[in-house]
């Protein structure tokens, strides 16, 4: 009879369980091990994509992930389930050799990682310093007769049933920040990120979104990188981002996908429309007698970390990747605006996001994070090179800063 005490299940003989039931149980256990294998290779992809490597290099590294995510489960089912001990045909775990146990141990590590990630996702709550005052979803296809998906490499992906790429969530969020100067009370920031002009999602989509947000005034408009995935589409900028106008100015940085293209040309296209490039530097605005210092961090792909002054009344950092949060905390930045991780683009029920190109894996996939003395807002972005969204809507967020204590629930 089957013995799987290694998994905490008593020997089959203890219950006189029919071998067919144990075969079903073993099939389930092999499925769990396959999930653990996938979790390990997803973590590998997330970690490698946090480094400043070119897109061609990352594609080669991604192919390793693609190979092992498919091959390991196949090998596992045939080697353990059919051949060898024949776990799917009444075999025993006692008959696994050391190499087989090594494979089981490898996959089990990933399974533990997946369990911890799931628990963290379920327990995570937004900090008490944030209150979402309004959130609405617009189906952009209902606002225009123009086609929103064009011919392109990923058009089939964009047309998949259930894909939410063309539904945008427009958020109004209020942040309560300790030490916010009274003159900055009520300051509004439009945070947008990761538009990824590639061509698969047509220009009409971005024009419609731009028209929606152009109607909502904001003191600052901040774009946190990844605008261009096809250099020829810089001519989309005037009819999209060019329509936005913050009372105190529009500020931007670029991201890794812009770095893959021609960043100098992208910067010029933005600055020609009066957007202010704050990459690798800071600048200070006088807002009713208070010094509001804005900086931009495009590292590790471009430039260097901006150095804030110690005398600013409020420090705002635009950082493409949330991995720069720890550096921002050392400089006592009040608020960090970031993107890059897209919320994972696909969030599984219970588990949450899997793919998030960060050395912190999915920890900062999207949302609001408070780690004293700094707060960070990570946008899910508006699009992506791969136009697929499931349980992870594209996002545009208008933030209002308050100094008083949040209302008690």
Q: DSSP strand E in 38-187: where?
A: 130-139, 167-176
Bridging pattern class, strands 335-338 and 374-378: parallel
Alpha-carbon distance of 321 to 339, in angstroms, equals 6
- Find the angle CA(366)-CA(331)-CA(362) to the nearest 5 degrees: 20
Q: DSSP strand E in 177-219: where?
A: 188-192
Three-state secondary-structure class, residue 2: coil
329 in Cβ contact with 351 (< 8 Å): no
Residue 1: predicted pLDDT: 38
User: Can the peptide bond before residue 373 be classed as cis, meaning omega within 30 degrees of 0?
Assistant: yes
Q: What is the pLDDT of residues 76-124, one digit of tens each?
A: 999 999 998 999 998 899 999 999 999 999 999 999 999 999 999 999 9
Residue 182: predicted pLDDT: 87
Bridging pattern class, strands 335-338 and 314-319: parallel
Residue 9: predicted pLDDT: 42
CA distances from 54 to 9, 51, 215 (A): 47, 9, 38
Q: What is the pLDDT of residues 170-213, one digit of tens each?
A: 999 999 988 899 899 999 999 999 999 999 999 999 999 999 99
Residue 292: predicted pLDDT: 97
Alpha-carbon distance of 187 to 36, in angstroms, equals 46
pLDDT band at 133 (very low <50, low <70, confident <90, very high): confident
| Cross-strand pairs, 353 | 347
Q: pTM, whole model, 2 decimals?
A: 0.92
Residue pointed to by tokens 């498919």: 70
Q: What is the pLDDT of residues 14-27, one digit of tens each?
A: 444 558 888 999 99
Domain with CATH 3.60.21.10 in the chain: 127-402
CATH architecture of 127-402: 4-Layer Sandwich (3.60)
CA 211 from chain centre, in angstroms, equals 25
Residue 73: predicted pLDDT: 97
CA 82 from chain centre, in angstroms, equals 39
294-327 burial: b if 16+ Cβ within 10 Å, else e:
bbbbbbbbbbebbebeeebbbbbbbbbbbbbbeb
**Taking 90 as the threshold, does the pLDDT of residue 2 lie above it?**
no
Average pLDDT, rounded, for the chain: 93
Under 8 Å CB-to-CB from 379, ≥6 apart: which residues? 191, 192, 193, 194, 224, 337, 338, 339, 366, 395, 397
pLDDT, average across residues 135-142: 96
Residue 129: predicted pLDDT: 85
Bridging pattern class, strands 374-378 and 367-371: antiparallel
Residue 178: predicted pLDDT: 80
pLDDT band at 328 (very low <50, low <70, confident <90, very high): very high
Q: What is the pLDDT of residues 359-368, one digit of tens each?
A: 999 999 999 9
Residue 4: predicted pLDDT: 41
pLDDT, average across residues 336-343: 98
């Amino acid at each position: 009879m089957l013995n799987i005490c290694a998994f905490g299940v008593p020997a089959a003989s203890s219950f006189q369980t029919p071998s067919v039931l144990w075969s079903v149980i073993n099939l389930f256990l092999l499925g769990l091990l396959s999930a653990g294998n996938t979790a390990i290779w997803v973590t590998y992809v997330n970690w490698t994509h946090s480094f400043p490597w070119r897109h061609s290099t990352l594609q080669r590294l991604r192919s390793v992930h693609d190979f092992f995510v498919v091959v390991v489960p196949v090998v596992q089912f045939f080697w353990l389930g059919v051949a060898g001990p024949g776990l799917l045909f009444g075999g025993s775990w006692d008959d696994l050799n050391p190499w087989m146990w090594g494979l089981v141990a490898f996959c089990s590590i990933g399974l533990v990682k997946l369990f911890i990630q799931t628990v963290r996702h379920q327990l995570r709550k937004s900090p008490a310093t944030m209150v979402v005052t309004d959130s609405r979803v617009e189906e952009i296809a209902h606002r225009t007769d123009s086609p929103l998906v064009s011919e392109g490499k990923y058009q089939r992906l964009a047309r998949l049933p259930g894909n939410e790429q063309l539904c945008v969530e427009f958020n109004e969020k209020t942040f309560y920040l300790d030490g916010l100067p009274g003159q900055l009370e009520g300051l509004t920031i439009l945070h947008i990120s990761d538009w990824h002009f590639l061509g698969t999602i047509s220009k009409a989509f971005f024009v419609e979104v731009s028209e929606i947000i152009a109607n909502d005034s904001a003191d600052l408009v901040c774009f946190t990188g990844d605008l261009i995935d096809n250099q020829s589409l810089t001519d989309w900028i005037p009819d999209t981002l060019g329509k936005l106008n913050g009372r105190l100015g529009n500020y931007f940085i670029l991201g890794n996908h812009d770095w893959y293209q021609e960043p100098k040309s992208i910067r010029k296209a933005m600055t020609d429309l009066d957007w202010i490039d704050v990459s690798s530097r800071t600048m200070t605005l006088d807002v009713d007698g208070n010094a509001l210092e804005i900086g931009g961090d495009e590292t590790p792909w471009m430039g260097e970390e901006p150095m804030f002054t110690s005398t600013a009344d409020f420090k705002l950092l635009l950082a493409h990747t949330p991995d720069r949060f720890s550096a921002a905390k050392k400089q006592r930045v009040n608020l960090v605006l970031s993107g890059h991780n897209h919320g994972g683009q696909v969030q599984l029920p219970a588990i949450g996001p899997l793919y998030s190109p960060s050395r912190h894996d999915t920890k900062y996939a999207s949302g609001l994070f408070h780690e004293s003395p700094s707060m960070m807002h990570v946008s899910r972005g508006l699009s992506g090179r791969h136009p697929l969204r499931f349980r992870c809507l594209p996002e545009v967020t208008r933030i209002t800063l308050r100094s008083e204590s949040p209302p008690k629930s």
